Structure formats: C-alpha cells, structure tokens
Amino acid sequence: MTDRESRSAQLLWGDRTRAPRGPKPSLSVDRIVAEGIELADLEGLEALSMQRLATELGAGTMSLYRYVPSKDDLIALMLDAAMGAPPQVDEGVGWRGALEACARSCAAVFERHPWVLSLAARPRTMGPNEVAYVEAALAALSGTGLSSAEMIDTVVLLNGFVRGVAPFLAAERDTDRRLIDMELIAAHGRRENYPTVAAVLGELGGRRHRNADDSFEYGLRRILDGVAARIDAP
C-alpha cells in the first residue's frame, strides 16, 4: 500500500463525495475523465497533456490537480471508465455464450479506444469495471466443474487472447498500414528469407479483403473448443 498506488486506488475504488465547504467546484473527476477519453480517442494518448485537456475543458492547467492527483492517476481512471461495465448475459446461453459475449464486448472496447491497449499491456491494479469483467467470466465458468485454478487460467487465456489480437485486428482493418510490409521487404532484397510468409500473403492478396472479424471469430472458436474439450473430458 504505497503512496503512489493508494492515491489512484482511492479514486478508483473510493467514493468521490467531498465536504460541501468552500466554493462549488466547477469541474468534476467524471467530466475530466470523460474529456480525457474523448481526446485520446480522437488524437491518441500522446496528444493528451494536462494543458491540452485543461484548455479543452475551459480551465487552467493546474485546476485539474484539484481533482486528480497526477496524470498517471487520471489515466488509470480513464482506463477503467473506458472499459465500462461488462455485458448483461442472458440466462441460458451457457458458459460458452457468456464467455463469447464478454470477449466480444471487450474487443469492441479496444476497437473504440485503441489507446487502452498499450495501458492494459502493463501490470497494474484493476479497477471496478475490469474486475467486473473477471467476475462475469468466472461466474459463467462456475458450474462447469473446472477447478478454481483452471477457471482463472481460462479467464486469463481468453482475456489474453482478446488483448493480444486487438492490434492485429486494428492492422487488418487499416488498409494502409501493413504489419508485414512485403513490398518493403522485397525492396531490400530480403524476400527470399521469408518464403512461407511471401507465399501465404501472396495467395491471400488475390482473395477479396481480409476480414478482421473472421480472424477474431476463428481464434475465439479454437479457444472455446479447447476449453470445451477440457470441460467434457477432465
């Protein structure tokens, strides 16, 4: 419980009621966080500075520090707020349907807020919404007969997959930016170092457009098939 994390943890988990003494605040943590998310969505995390954010809010730069202890804490709040609550799962869809719903909802968040990815890639303390996602996934698995360790590992597996593929999906959706730039490789005479890549990409280039959703669904199905096999035959 160091100072550094207790500050952001207090804001993440504590209530934000303040003593009604003194003048009314003209801003609020929620408004700052919301504006920060909007700015990060529009121009990326690197465009988010306290000065820029304050300007956007029509306030002085230092005024923000009345609400948020540091930029890092603000970003932690933005991360959890951007996640939002996990989806409501219909009864009767089974563990598989529930996990699919969680995974798809999570992937949708990463698509809407790409900057979340680089933040979620580092170890941190999860906020209420993030833990709620874990709760939903664990609850879905609680009747399957998996052990506690296996349940956690399954959630880790699924969450890891969604977070890991998101950059690939983003790259597949973006027709300009190529993760693997075969022209660049060929231009430097390295094409023969990667024969299989060249062959596979060449064959695919002839086909109609690569669909990022297909990649996601393919991976999701393989994972859930593997988990199902484990559940059915322990």
Closest approach of DNA to the CB of residue 67, in Å? 7
Q: Does the footprint of DNA cover residue 7 (CB under 7 A)? A: no
How near is the Cβ of 42 to DNA at its closest, in Å?
15
**Considering beta carbons, is residue 54 or 212 the nearer one to a second copy?**
212
Residue whose token pair is 């596979």: 200
Is position 134 an interface residue for DNA (rule: CB under 7 A)? no
Q: In the complex, what is the shortest distance from the CB of residue 145 to a second copy, in angstroms, rounded to a whole number?
A: 14
Nearest in space to 52 (alpha carbons), one of 69, 68, 64 = 64
Q: Which is nearer to DNA, 21 or 208 (CB)?
A: 21
Q: Identity (one letter) of the amino acid at 234?
A: P
**Which residues in 62-101 contact DNA (CB under 7 A)?**
62-63, 65-67, 70-72
Distance CA 41, CA 57 (A): 16
Minimum distance from CB of 51 to a second copy (Å)?
A: 20
Q: Which ranges in the chain belong to alpha helices (H)?
A: 3-13, 29-43, 50-57, 71-83, 94-112, 115-120, 128-141, 148-173, 182-187, 195-206, 212-232
DSSP-derived letter for residue 22 is: S
- Taken in order 229, 230, 232, 234, the sign of the CA dihedral is positive
Least Å from the CB of residue 228 to a second copy: 9
By CB under 7 A, the residues from 26 to 65 that bind DNA are 26-27, 48-52, 59-63, 65
DSSP 95-113: HHHHHHHHHHHHHHHHHH-
Residue 40 near residue 115, CB atoms below 8 Å: yes
**Considering the rule CB under 7 A, would residue 5 count as an interface residue with DNA?**
no
Residue 10 lies near DNA (rule: CB under 7 A) = no
Nearest CB to DNA, comparing residues 82 and 107: 82
**61 binding partner (options a second copy, DNA, none; Cβ < 5 to 8 Å by kind):** DNA
* Placement of tokens 């859930």 in the chain: 224
Specify the 3-state DSSP secondary structure of 86.
coil
Q: Is 24 or 188 the residue whose CB approaches a second copy more closely? A: 188
- Give the footprint of DNA on this chain (CB under 7 A): 18-27, 48-52, 59-63, 65-67, 70-72
